[in-house]
Structure 1
Amino acid sequence: MKSKRIFTSFAMEDKMLRDFLIGQRNNNHSSIDFTDMSVKQPWDSSWKTNCRSRIKGCDGMIIIFTRNTKNADGQLWEIKCALDEGIPVLAIWGYSSDKGISRPIELRNTVIKDWTWDNISNWVMGL
């Protein structure tokens, strides 16, 4: 299977969750492969232009949703950008304890799924 280009959107406070997701992907038992295209460090003032270009070049976006998301301006912009560009998104709960927290407007129409490898791999394979 050809590797999919996936943009991982997360609040900077949740960077370790992104690292866990990449670790899951690298697990020898994983049947899927994707290239993480997330922004690993802030860009200069033109970061939105660079970020939009990166998102547009992806097959999909995985959104790690936590209670930090509502205050993560960069993550919220990334989500809006993906939706504006018609990029498929998969939103997953970063922590099961966050289920039921209020969603930002950017995610009001998005189903947020449990973080399971089946949910992630089935979505990626369907891209």
Structure 2
Amino acid sequence: MPPRAFISFEMEDRWARDFLVQQAKDKRNDIEFVDYSVQNPWDSSWKTQCKERIGRTRGTIVLIGATTYASEAVKWEIAETARQGHYMFGVQINSNKTHPLPIGLPSQNVIRWDFEQITKWLTTWV
């Protein structure tokens, strides 16, 4: 069974999260995604719930759009993923652009949008 993944993304890039989840369903595989959409990123209950949700996964997929690098919530989710010792990789969501990376996301762990590649990365989370 493939590992559970937490998806970190900027709200303006929600379309990419929805597309990724839909691709997983369309490909009829067993990948399960978890996300917790941020209403107020510095509300203490959000952080508590986010820690718990990251804790129930093997790692985090960071969807990288134009403003992701500046998102305090995304940076916090990356730091929490690292603090928990979980796997992490990023996906550039626009095929024709390379967006700046948020702090804490290693550049060698970033790929272009390609569902087969995403699946391949997930299979390394053992």
Do the two structures share a fold, i.e. TM-score over 0.5?
yes
After TM superposition, the score normalised by the length of structure 2 is 0.85
Tell me, yes or no, if the aligned pair for 1:8 and 1:61 is still in contact at 8 Å: yes
Distance 1:41 1:79 in 2: 14
The alignment covers a number of residue pairs equal to 123
SS at match of 2:47: helix
Residue of structure 1 equivalent to 2:72: 73
| Runs of 4+ off more than 6 Å | none
Tell me, yes or no, if the aligned pair for 1:12 and 1:72 is still in contact at 8 Å: no
Residue of structure 2 equivalent to 1:35: 32
Report matched runs for 1:39-50 at 5 Å.
39-42=36-39, 44-50=43-49
Structure 1 95/14 Cα, relative in aligned 2: closer, same or farther at 3 Å? same
Structure 1 104/4 Cα, relative in aligned 2: closer, same or farther at 3 Å? closer
For each residue in 1:48-69, what CA deviation from the matched residue of structure 2 results, as whole angstroms up to 9, or x when unmatched?
Answer: 1110111011012111011110
Distance 1:9 1:114 in 2: 16
1:119 maps onto 2:117 in alignment: yes
Tell me, yes or no, if the aligned pair for 1:91 and 1:110 is still in contact at 8 Å: no
Distance 2:106 2:119 in 1: 24
How far apart are 1:42 and its partner, in Å? 2.5
Which of 101, 104, 121 is the matching residue for 1:103?
101
How far apart are 1:115 and its partner, in Å? 1.1
Residue of structure 2 equivalent to 1:51: 50
Letter in 1 for 2:94: Y
